[in-house]
């Protein structure tokens, strides 16, 4: 046997072995949550360690670890971990300048094919080193002050665990305070801890996004109103905005199910309306090139006033196509030049969101 065939055989075995090597890594954390409890702002940073083990048969590689805000810094091992080997994700919360309750998310990405993204959570309460009014900057009336008017749930998956965010509140009045809420959607549950906030005391409003109850896809905004019981007429600017990005959960699909899944194909990912003062419409063709029925969940766009969309059909059998009509009305916007995008959300597990860039002007 010549050297060249031997070399080819060796390379084939080597590449095959490497491919198999990275296929069965498994990440398992001892715990996914850490509560720091009460922290003094003056003490600065606090750190938690999340221990994990490679329970698979092949080396585990942590590709990245990201936090949902700059107040939290995660660090991860840079080298692969052998089967059975342990590692740590070290998470630091920068408490200085951030008094009040916190609830932060960290996402850990690895080559575990069945668990590519793991959610870690840190919680706690930072005791302010400065005055209360400097910390609770938003005055809602009736003696109620809060730190923020927006709560972001980030990625939400219907059917997975519920997500809870904390709104820190302060009673600067002289009487006990009971909070009430209005315009609360069915998928939002609210508790106050404690139920009655005593004068000159802090409390926590726990807002839970109940994933099983939401009937929507893509980015979602809800606005709820918060009131002090008996002080409703004194309330102002008491709207709390809830943000979430709702994704379909494809993590439990088998390899066979993925192979037989629907596949979305869009005729163009750029729409140019050119310049003009009249309303005009463009069309895109959306086709199902997969093996199961394609469901177009939603078409979402940045500018809800200037653009309108209609679909001839939202359910497509394999090989079937439909038209997406996009209308731009220049009279509905003050912008002279527009560069927006719309998102087509479907049940294609490999490409559940197709972004179409829109250019227009008047």
Query: What does the DSSP assignment read for 111-143?
Result: S-TT-SEEEEEEEEEEEPSS-HHHHS-EEEETT
**Confidence tier at 16 by pLDDT (50, 70, 90):** very low
The pLDDT of residue 131: 67
- Spatial distance between the Cα atoms of 8 and 281, rounded to a whole number of angstroms: 57
Percent of the chain with pLDDT over 90: 71
- Kindly indicate the confidence band of residue 18, based on its pLDDT and cuts at 50, 70 and 90: very low
Cα separation of 185 and 222, whole Å? 8
Give the whole-angstrom CA distance, residue 69 versus residue 99. Answer: 15
Quick one: average pLDDT of 26-41? Answer: 92
Q: Give the angle subtended at the CA of 127 by the CAs of 152 and 122, to the nearest 5°.
A: 45
> What's the whole-number mean pLDDT along residues 289-302?
94
The structure tokens listed for 298 are 């939603």
Taking the whole predicted model, whether its pTM rises above 0.85 is answered as no
H/E element holding 269? Answer: none
SS3 70: coil
- In the chain, what are the helix, strand and coil shares in percent, each to the nearest 5? 10, 50, 40
Over 80: is that where the pLDDT of 1 sits? no
Nearest to 326 by CA among 314, 346, 312: 312
Q: Read off the pLDDT of each residue in 263-288 and give the average, rounded to a whole number.
A: 93
Q: Cβ distance 314 to 296 under 8 Å?
A: yes
Q: Can you name the residues that pair with 73 across neighbouring β-strands?
A: 92
pLDDT digits (tens, 9 = 90+) for 297-313: 999 987 667 889 999 99
What pLDDT shows up at residue 8?
A: 46
- Secondary structure class of 30 (helix, strand, coil): coil
Check residue 20 and give its pLDDT.
45
Average pLDDT across the chain, whole number: 89
Looking at residues 331-353, what average pLDDT do you find? 91
Residues 43-52 have pLDDT tens digits of: 889 999 999 9
């Amino acid at each position: 046997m010549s050297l060249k065939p031997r070399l080819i055989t060796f390379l084939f075995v080597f590449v095959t072995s490497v491919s198999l090597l990275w296929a069965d890594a498994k990440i398992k954390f001892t715990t996914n949550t850490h509560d720091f409890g009460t922290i003094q702002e003056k003490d600065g940073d606090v750190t938690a360690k999340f221990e994990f083990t490679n329970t698979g048969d092949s080396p585990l590689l942590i590709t990245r670890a990201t936090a949902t805000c700059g107040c939290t810094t995660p660090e991860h091992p840079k080298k692969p971990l052998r089967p059975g080997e342990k590692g740590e994700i070290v998470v630091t919360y920068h408490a200085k300048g951030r008094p009040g309750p916190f609830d932060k998310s960290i996402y850990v990405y690895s080559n575990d094919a069945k668990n590519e993204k793991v959610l870690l959570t840190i919680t706690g309460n930072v005791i302010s080193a400065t005055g209360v009014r400097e910390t609770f900057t938003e005055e809602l009336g009736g003696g109620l002050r809060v730190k923020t008017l927006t709560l972001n749930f980030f990625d939400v998956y219907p059917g997975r665990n519920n997500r809870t965010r904390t709104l820190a509140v302060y009673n600067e009045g002289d009487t006990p305070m009971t909070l009430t809420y209005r315009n609360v959607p069915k998928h939002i549950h609210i508790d106050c801890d404690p139920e009655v906030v005593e004068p000159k005391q802090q409390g926590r409003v726990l807002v839970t996004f109940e994933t099983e109850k939401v009937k929507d896809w893509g980015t979602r905004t809800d606005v709820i109103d918060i009131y002090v019981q008996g002080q409703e007429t004194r309330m102002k600017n008491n709207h709390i905005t809830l943000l979430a990005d709702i994704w379909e959960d494809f993590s439990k699909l088998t390899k066979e199910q993925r192979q037989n899944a629907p596949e979305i194909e869009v005729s163009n990912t750029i729409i140019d309306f050119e310049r003009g003062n009249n309303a005009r419409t463009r069309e895109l063709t959306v086709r199902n090139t997969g093996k199961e029925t394609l469901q177009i969940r939603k078409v979402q766009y940045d500018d809800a006033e200037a653009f309108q969309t209609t679909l001839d059909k939202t359910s497509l059998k394999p090989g079937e196509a439909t038209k997406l009509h996009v209308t731009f009305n220049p009279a509905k916007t003050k912008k002279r030049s527009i560069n927006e995008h719309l998102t087509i959300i479907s049940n294609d597990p490999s490409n559940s969101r197709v972004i179409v860039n829109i250019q227009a002007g008047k």
